[in-house]
A and B are shown apart, each in its own frame.
Chain A
């Protein structure tokens, strides 16, 4: 771990100012990921700006009828919040599928969005990694990639010709998969003031700059996450498939929300975790479900559409079929055709 300076911010403006003043500065809240990365010398911040005293610690109603989740509310407090449980059970379910109780007690909502990939090679400075060290290469593509991405890794040149992918890391969050399905909005504050980022635009695909995980500018701080009024509370499912029953990242996860009129689907959201550099959504695939009956055939068609263009790299190729089956299952569970166990 490197030496660093520690600052405790007493206001959002103060935090942002500190961040602007020093390129190597990083915000720290729960630290559940950043401290690990520092010990592995993947992150070497020159300054840690402690934001835990900032007033972003509550869950409040929005004017639109949704909920605003403070960036500093812990994952545990969010998952067990009564209003979240009642109106956004999909989110609660997703958070509780992740990490361990100890980690969820420390980890904050803002930090959950900012956590970095758990790609083995990203963590191990002995191996090349374009995300850790741009231009050094990707060890995972030819290496052990069982936990890696199958979607959104392609690169194309200006003529549309396929190029070598630069990074096949996945975003590890469960919470973010639910937030993507719910179309949450991220509230951020930077040196030029506040702005909002739709969730689908918050995380990004690796492209030629895999070292950049998201759309946040270096001077910006996440202050809250807004949930729109529709929480798909009646018909939802977060299904997570992993290598053991707890404390493992998703091989594939599905956040599904449906609105039904009898047996007919009137609205559908599907987001996938564990398959791409960001929570994966495809509105065309969701649109295929609208007006359709809640049948295996409808679900299968949506699953096929969501996985269109997926590419395996050897050890992770199984994820393509697994993801389709998981989508069909999760939609069936959301439609209450199947038990959720």
Chain B
């Protein structure tokens, strides 16, 4: 009974967002608010030998300056600082001691009556350091690569499977082979909204009460962190994050402004806000710079027989950030002889952090350029090579996919793009100085579901209230959850009020990994079903009830009614039923759990095929992506409008990653230097031209009863390789290092 699921419905929060009614973490005003400004360190490694705050403290309006010398005593053990996305290691603790671990490290917090005074005072703090030699270059430290440390993170990010077959021998003996070395620079998330926390302080009993407006992809993560680090019981803390001005993974861990704001608030016993600057947005997690080697061989007919993929990613000295970079080849292609290897290089930088399709877009970018290279070694059309090596099995786990409509992606994408008209030879299309090229690539991302809880309540006025402590990081969670709830109980969208981003709501995991739609969707569905079951019980109590013998399977909800499936005219309105509940709402809380039993024999993933046209100025090296088509197989699409926006965003970022994005580390000073949005280049409107999205039909009853797979990541995965392959087709130049700036093409 799908009334609104699957329809291209406008965002339910759209009006609030465009009219400014939607408030973000730094916009909540409270009386007596003090403002914190973070002082950032300037060296990459060493010790603070002296920090002089006297001049700052003497300014009118300055309340306090916190440094490692006067910070309060806090939780002792690492475990207290571990958030839900913490990799193995020892989490960074702001103001812990005099040690400098990376450039830009927060070393002091100035709190003042106004933001301007705090900022000015921050400029008056004098710091002396004893510098130590630092290492920030991945390339220069590849010899130090070592396997990742293991921990809970392995569950979601397993290390590569053990080698199978005999890569070396088969590769050596194969008639056709390729080898390439690929790299990309670090990237920073740079959501438009700056990281901010507004902490509202109230006197409590033994401990104060804190209401915290935080920029986070999971209020549960923030409340856990604050409670453990500052030893305050959950009941005294409430974390709210109703809206987020972009996350992309940067909000998966509590960032240091949260620590700073809470610390200052507790010490000063008043409400405090800390907002980071754009420059400081470059002083925490980032997509790690990575170097990869890929080698693939095939028999003369194009059947792949051996695959090698290794990756060396940077991490910090204190935590082992890992991502799945090299496992994808074994999931996409069937060669029998496979070696996949992943190692880390600890450097004097902050711990990297999941960024949209973490590891996936990294690994697939290299792998799918490599597959294109193999196609050219074979003299075979790149799409034909992929079809030749098509498999319905995940060869890493030897399990079939729960569903995989990648073939339909290839067919529909190729048709929309006009791929059949492509000439194989590079440099075969030209318009004046511009060489034109067509490239394609495959994408894959996991379709995960986590446990989550939600509450549903049919209120006495007949409206349906639904809540879960999840996040809407701009993706459309508010809208799709409203749709799921509306359909579950047969009420129109306008009768549903879905709320999120509040730690008082039933618990949900951090919003990442493309799992929110499935995870929270199933929790919402389950809570609504529970309400439905209670309503059926109430219906049975009606005088002369026609529902007396009815089982759950016998009824359905539609048009604000509960009715018999076989006889829809036998119906009772939901309002009538809630009126029977003694003046109370019909309220249920329920958990959406992945069906492990059903899922365990299958690999679960979304797939994509991206087709890209570029124009490259032969003399000047400038690249323009003139058009791109992405065909996506991602299970059931709850809302084609918000889902399309997600894919478009991923495609834009894929173009941006291929051509523009790069956080530039100066290894002399060990510091990211282009730390602003003028010099950290993301694609702008003028870079983006014709983008087309196709969702292919994909029915999947194994991932979850609603068939939801999630679309947050899959849009970006295939794009960078497709752009790079199109550039090769245009120019005959194979560029294996991203971003492909014009100097790499002249």
Contacts and interface: CB of A to CB of B under 8 A. Distances in A.
Interface in B409-467: 432-433
A326 B660 contact: no
A2 B120 contact: yes
Interface stretch (A63-71, A137-145, A185-193): A137-145
B743 interface: yes
A225 to B, nearest CB: 25
Nearest to B621: A322
B397 interface: no
B238 interface: no
B686 A246 contact: yes
Given A322-B621, A325-B746, A124 B675 contact: yes
Contacts of A241: 620, 622, 742
A1 B669 contact: no
A243 B742 contact: yes
Contacts of B432: 338-339
B276 to A, nearest CB: 13
B686 A120 contact: no
Interface string A208-249: 000000000000000000000000000000000101111111
Interface residues of B, number: 41
Interface in A69-121: 118, 120-121
A321 B669 contact: no
B123 A41 contact: yes
Contacts of B678: 118, 247-249
B658 to A, nearest CB: 12
A214 B270 CA distance: 50
B619 A126 contact: no
B42 A245 contact: no
A126 B40 CA distance: 9
Contact of B120 (A1, A144, A321): A1
Interface in B650-707: 659-660, 664-666, 668-669, 671, 673-676, 678-679, 681-687
Contacts of B620: 241, 322, 325-326, 329
Contacts of B679: 118, 120, 147
A302 interface: no
Interface in A268-311: none
Nearest to A172: B678
A318 B743 contact: yes
Nearest to A246: B686
Given A3-B120, A124-B675, A243-B681, A321 B746 contact: yes
A121 B673 contact: yes
B673 A120 contact: yes
Given A244-B687, A245-B684, A325 B619 contact: yes
A246 B622 CA distance: 13
Contacts of A329: 433, 619-620
A244 B660 contact: yes
Contact of B686 (A121, A245, A318): A245
Contacts of B43: 126
Given A248-B681, A325-B619, A143 B666 contact: yes
Given A243-B741, A245-B684, A322 B668 contact: no
A1 B120 CA distance: 5
B68 to A, nearest CB: 19
B123 A244 contact: no
Contact of B103 (A126, A251, A338): A126
B119 interface: yes
B624 interface: yes
Given A139-B669, A322-B743, A244 B675 contact: no
A46 interface: no
A245 B671 contact: no
A127 interface: yes
B669 A127 contact: yes
Interface of B: 40, 42-43, 103, 116, 119-120, 123, 279, 432-433, 619-622, 624, 659-660, 664-666, 668-669, 671, 673-676, 678-679, 681-687, 741-743, 746
Closest 5 CB pairs of A and B: A126-B42, A245-B686, A246-B686, A318-B743, A120-B673
Interface of A: 1-3, 39-41, 118, 120-121, 123-127, 139, 142-144, 146-147, 241, 243-249, 251, 318, 321-322, 325-326, 328-329, 338-339
27 contacts: A1-B119, A2-B123, A3-B120, A39-B119, A40-B279, A41-B123, A121-B673, A123-B676, A126-B671, A127-B669, A127-B673, A143-B668, A143-B673, A144-B666, A144-B673, A147-B679, A243-B660, A244-B682, A244-B686, A245-B686, A246-B686, A246-B687, A249-B678, A318-B746, A322-B621, A328-B619, A329-B433
